[in-house]
Chain A
Amino acid sequence: MRLRLSSVEWHAGPWKCSADGVFVPGVHMVSGRVGSGKTTFALLSSRLLRPDAGTVEYEGISSHILSFQHPEYHITGRTLDEEAGSYGVDPFTACARAGLAGREHEDPFLLSRGELKRFLLSCILMRPWDLIILDEPFSALDCRGKLSVCQSIHENRSSIVLVITHEQHILPRTDYLWEMRSGTLFGLGSLPGAISAWESAPGPVRMLLERGIIPANLTRDDLLEAACRIRE
């Protein structure tokens, strides 16, 4: 199972997004500055955007899903149970997993943004998918929600999971690191080696790198363990 982007280009006026890369099963983190093309890359990878040049090939991938950066873009149902039904998942389980048990008949737009994000990620991650593309899955979530999503991502690591994020503190265990730099996708490689080349690293990782410490991975525990080495 592979997602293969070959010489992909997409233009918007003078701005260009370029991507070349092969994504195998595991957790791939894609980061980058604001406006660097992360969401465009997500749309191209999910085939919601057709490239101006190059190809996006799904090899052995029979199911895929994209979680939008903005959860409000997903809503099609008038209630949470209708919304869960549109994903083919049990609404009671989806609500319970999102900490919204008993609220199945509520209007999704009456939830807080964080609650809505938690609910939609719950719907998406309850089903198996060959390719899961999560665009900013942590934005709007509180720290408990972020930790829970990290756990779900870890449980889905036999799929190809693309996590597009600039989250600073709570990240999932990651297999491969990628970076969008001014519209171009760069493959930095597997962890932990890739971390030292990470230009848009979050604050805690920068702090470690400045002290010459490379964490084993990016989870909260990995970063705390690495930080303990400062004390030694």
Chain B
Amino acid sequence: MIEIEDLRFRALTIPRLVISDGTTAVIGANGSWKTTLLRLVAGLFRPESGSITVDGVHPVPGTTGFVDEYPDRNVLFSRVADELAAPLRFCHISCSEVESRVKEAAATIGFGDRLHQTMDTLSGGEKVLIALLTSLITCPKTLVLDEFDSHLDYESLQLADSLIAGSGARTVVRCTQNMDLAARCGKVVFLHQGGVLHDGRPEEVFSETESDCFYPFSWRTRR
């Protein structure tokens, strides 16, 4: 569970927000400070005042699986194999186990025979799929995903969602501009100009957006 109290960071102000276990979508217009909130939750930024705790502990970088919205900002190493292996190597896991887990992970997205390919030859969508796998490879309890889905086609998105669902992560916080995807999450947090405009179950939050394009397309067409 993620608890935010009296948070201030630049223009982001959140008096109180609780993100319970399960999957939470963070939505809002461009420039509503979604990415900043996600970086704070992942421990990549520290609050200027107030607090964020994840399962009662202040988040520190490296303990949470994180995927950046900029595909290239996820890349640390030149080869796909090294990129996937990095979090395991940083945990001093044995070479043989690293190798087997990397092969197993790569196979899940059809990259079993592309481990020696260089990252710079991948498409934007392929880079974020590798970033997602890299974030999952150490089985983190918390996953923070910043709009990686905007780089994926329909089938790749289904694949990514099945990887996330099967990851065992207890808390998933994902920013998205895909309202249908947000509607499938357990909770939705709608940010507006650096504050929380609405938060709650999808039915509660989207009942406030019915006249707007921030309303799931599939809900407009359901019988």
Contact = CB atoms under 8 A, between A and B. Distances in A.
Contacts of B31: 111-112, 114-115
B221 A166 contact: no
A136 B71 CA distance: 13
A177 to B, nearest CB: 15
Contact of A112 (B30, B151, B157): B30
Contacts of A201: 154
- Residue of A113, A115, A141, A228 with most chain B CB atoms under a 10 A cut-off: A113
Contacts of B69: 113, 140
A228 B220 CA distance: 9
Contacts of A202: 154
Contacts of B155: 33, 200
A223 B221 CA distance: 9
Interface in A23-40: 31-35, 38-39
Nearest to B158: A203
Contacts of A32: 153
Interface string B59-96: 00000000001111000000000000000000000000
B179 A145 contact: no
Given A12-B121, A72-B70, A224-B220, A145 B151 contact: no
B34 to A, nearest CB: 8
Contacts of B20: none
B217 A223 contact: yes
What class of interface size applies to chain B in its complex with A? 35 or more
A3 interface: no
A34 B152 CA distance: 6
A163 B173 CA distance: 31
Contact of B156 (A12, A34, A170, A207): A34
A19 B70 CA distance: 29
Contact of B217 (A139, A140, A204): A204
A168 interface: yes
A142 interface: yes
A35 B30 contact: no
Contact of B28 (A33, A111, A141, A142): A142
Contacts, number: 113
Nearest to B123: A35
A70 interface: yes
A170 B124 CA distance: 20
A142 B212 CA distance: 12
A37 B5 CA distance: 46
A142 B27 CA distance: 9
A141 B29 CA distance: 8
Contact of A142 (B30, B70, B157, B217): B30
B177 A34 contact: no
Contacts of B28: 142
Contacts of B71: 70
A115 to B, nearest CB: 5
Closest 6 CB pairs of A and B: A114-B30, A34-B125, A143-B213, A227-B221, A166-B153, A139-B150
20 contacts: A32-B153, A33-B155, A34-B126, A34-B129, A39-B124, A69-B124, A70-B124, A118-B30, A136-B151, A139-B150, A143-B177, A143-B214, A144-B29, A144-B213, A169-B178, A203-B180, A204-B217, A206-B154, A223-B221, A227-B220
Given A70-B70, A146-B213, A169-B180, 18 more contacts: A31-B153, A33-B155, A34-B129, A34-B153, A70-B71, A113-B70, A118-B30, A138-B150, A140-B177, A143-B179, A143-B212, A168-B178, A168-B180, A201-B154, A220-B213, A227-B220, A227-B221, A230-B221
Interface of B: 28-31, 34-35, 69-72, 121-126, 129, 147, 150-157, 177-180, 212-214, 217-218, 220-221, 223
Interface of A: 12, 31-35, 38-39, 69-70, 72, 99, 111-115, 117-118, 136, 138-147, 166, 168-170, 200-204, 206-207, 220, 223-224, 227-228, 230-231
